[in-house]
Amino acid sequence: MPKKWVTAEQEKWLRERLPLFVESHRCKTTMVFYSEVHKEWRKNWPHRNLTNMEITAIDGNVEKAVKEIQSKTEDRVIAWFHNHNRSIVSSRGTRGTIKLDMKPRKKQPWQAYQRMTYETQWKDVIDKAYDELRAEWKPKAPGDIFNLSRFEFMNDFMRKKYEEQSPEVKAKVEEFRQQKYDLQGLSSAEKQQQ
């Protein structure tokens, strides 16, 4: 079960305001409701002490960091009210069903390029570059957590490499991309006939 972001006292406080939220939603005055809730929240629970990482992430500006944390908390409060009223309040009345027979979207060109070249050309290069970046980063920010995942690094790397390619390579990628898209949604037997 995910860790709660509210204390028991805060959750009780939020639950006490659920009827007001429902009423404000019905009367289309949720903006007024949220404004009042946010004021009361800040009065009851002023911002917590910020970590060095949170401050440095906002250019070392403490005031900006406090506003950023406040904004995130306000977003959580809004989400809390919506998540705890799904059965009571609905913006459309009924929910649609997911269409499972839809054809998937076509991959981005850089994704097709990645599929064509990653294993044979770029995997070892990406592994090495990512490890070097992590090694360089640790002495520069001791005690801070390295937040760039290998997946994010790889995607950024592949986007850049695709952009550097010649028009001929990009044409081959587009052909591959279209071929894969045309085969999506077909059964194995239908793919073999293609």
The answer as to whether 96 is a domain residue is: no
139, containing H or E segment? helix 123-140
pLDDT at 5: 79
Same domain membership, residue 120 and residue 45: no
pLDDT confidence bin for 22, thresholds 50/70/90: confident
Is residue 100 one of the residues assigned to a domain? no
H helix runs in 45-122, sequence order: 52-57, 62-83, 109-117
pTM over 0.85: no
pLDDT, tens digit, 9 for 90 and up, residues 32-70: 888 898 889 888 888 767 777 766 776 777 777 778 888
101 in any annotated domain:
no
19 located within any domain: yes
Token output for 41: 């929240």
By residue count, the chain amounts to 194
């279209």: which residue's tokens?
178
Residue 69: CB atoms within 10 A of its CB come to 15
pLDDT for residue 62: 76
Cβ-based burial of 81 (10 A; exposed 0-12, middle 13-18, buried ≥19): buried
Domain membership of residue 39 as a residue range: 8-83
Reported as a pLDDT band with limits 50, 70 and 90, residue 27 is confident
Predicted confidence at residue 88, as pLDDT, reads: 55
Tokens at 14, concatenated = 């939020």
Residues 115 and 187 grouped into a single domain: yes
Question: For residue 115, what are its two tokens?
Answer: 């599929």
Q: What is the pLDDT of residues 142-186, one digit of tens each?
A: 777 778 888 988 999 999 999 999 999 999 999 988 887 776 655
Residue 93 covered by a domain: no
Nearest-angstrom CA–CA distance, 32 and 75 = 15
Q: Which of 67, 83, 99 is the last residue of a domain?
A: 83
Percentage of the chain modeled with pLDDT above 90: 20
The residue among 68, 83, 98 that closes a domain is 83
Q: How many domains does the chain have?
A: 2
In a domain, 1, yes or no: no
CA distance 88 to 92: 12
